Amino acid sequence: MLIAQISDMHLRAAGDLLHGRIDTVGALADCIAHVNSMLPRPDLVLATGDLTDWGRPEDYRLLRRMLGELAMPCYVIPGNHDERAALRAALGDCGYLPSGGEFLHYTIDGWPLRMIGLDTVLPGKVGGGLCTARRQWLAERLAEQPQRPTVLFMHHPPFPSGIGFLDTPPFEGGEELAALISRHPQVRQVMCGHIHRAIYVNWAGTCAAIAPSTVYQMNLAFEPGTGFVMTNDPPAIALYLWNGEVGPTGYISLISNASSP
């Protein structure tokens, strides 16, 4: 089973350039063409937040139309640039987003891996977190199928990246989430976005990673006081290969961060 992760598309409709110079529509079109042209093709795509830049209804209408050009199913979760109501209005009939409730989290069954999408948005804040209610929801989902290999995907990484201006404030509920995941060895991978950088860590007894952006990458701002700068690194996606073995021999390989053309 091959999974493509795309993240931080920051889509803007109607030729509205990001930072005054980035064509986000063209970048997403290139990404979709790249994924569709891969051999072998991914079985599905996970889009991990900051789907749009402003969260406007017209942006989500365009997003839906463009993601519909993928040759495989695509599942989205929101990021801090997204608006839940507008996202639900545009994609709510796709069959996986919840029709009610405050949060846009859900499970995906019917694949060799079980996948759980988590809504880490804290409205009005750049940083993310999981409140008690969301952690309880996750605990209940993990308890449902404790022997089933599972992937969690979310926008905000629940662990420090080392990039100071993005680690402040820290992920709310991160320690509690780590304790929960460490009690569930069926969680084989945690996939995140937000940082616009490929980062890999061992965390909470499992593997976790941050995907690069399909639009632009951020600087590695490890020095205290360093701020945001766009870099010349190419747009990219993350690819994960599940080896199909259920039980302790099953593993997920992060095999590539394949650049879009």
**pLDDT recorded at residue 15:** 74
- Encode pLDDT of 199-246 as tens digits: 999 999 999 999 999 999 888 877 776 777 788 788 999 999 998 877
Token pair 């990001």 in the structure block, residue = 18
Range of lowest pLDDT (86-90, 115-119, 240-244, 250-254): 250-254
Residues paired with residue 44 on neighbouring β-strands, in sequence order: 3
Quick one: pLDDT band at residue 191, thresholds 50, 70, 90? Answer: very high
CA-based nearest residue to 37, from 86, 8, 70, 67 = 70
- pTM for this prediction: 0.94
Q: Is the pLDDT of residue 54 over 90?
A: yes
The percentage of residues in the chain with a pLDDT greater than 70, rounded to a whole number, is 97
Q: In what order do the strands lie in the sheet with 199-203?
A: 106-108, 114-117, 150-153, 187-192, 206-210, 199-203
Residue 260 has pLDDT above 60, yes or no: no
For 154-176, letters b (16+ CB in 10 Å) and e give: bbbbbbbbebeebbeeebbbbee
- Write down all domains in the chain, each with its CATH number in brackets: 7-256 (3.60.21.10)
Q: What pLDDT, on a 0 to 100 scale, did the predictor assign at position 224?
A: 72
DSSP 235: P
Q: Is the dihedral of CA 236, 213, 114, 255 positive or negative?
A: positive
Question: Between 206 and 21, whose confidence is greater?
Answer: 206
Closest-CA residue to 152 (of 197, 199, 127, 120): 120
pLDDT tens digits, 149-165: 999 999 999 999 888 87
